[in-house]
Amino acid sequence: MLATGALDTNIRTAICDSMDLEPHQLEELFHRAESDWTTIKQTILTRKQSPLTLRCPHCNYNGKKPTDNGQGFRYLSHQTTWRAVARVENGILLIHGWSEIYDEDAESNERLECRSCLAEFPIPHDLQTDFC
């Protein structure tokens, strides 16, 4: 929508009214959509062969130099962990601190985290993953 250049004040107001949004919320939506589209273009649509190195599609960091947040990239995924509930005491749910992972639970939402800008992005579709 932004690329069309047709979003004048009246159209923005109409969109906000129809979606029950404040103007700053609409801007956040546009920003997120543009960021996601940039990620898609940089990680999926532009590659013809498997990359030899990783680059963050948000800040172009290549993972080689240390940053304030560490160095390189982190592999992130969701997996179910559990902790035993000890008891309820004075209206407080007390939970044991140690946790276990459901080994039979598959990881999901695999993605990478840039240690420079801390943005998350999809693993490039033309890269295979393996654990060493």
Task: Say how far apart CA 42 and CA 47 lie, in whole Å.
Answer: 8
pLDDT computed for residue 47 by the predictor: 54
pLDDT computed for residue 9 by the predictor: 84
pLDDT computed for residue 129 by the predictor: 87
For residue 5, the SS3 value is coil
pTM of the model: 0.55
Q: Contact, 75 vs 94, CB < 8 A?
A: no
pLDDT computed for residue 121 by the predictor: 94
To which H or E segment does residue 85 belong? Answer: strand 85-89
Q: Which residues of the chain have pLDDT under 70?
A: 3, 43-51
Kindly state the DSSP code that residue 27 receives in the 8-state scheme: H
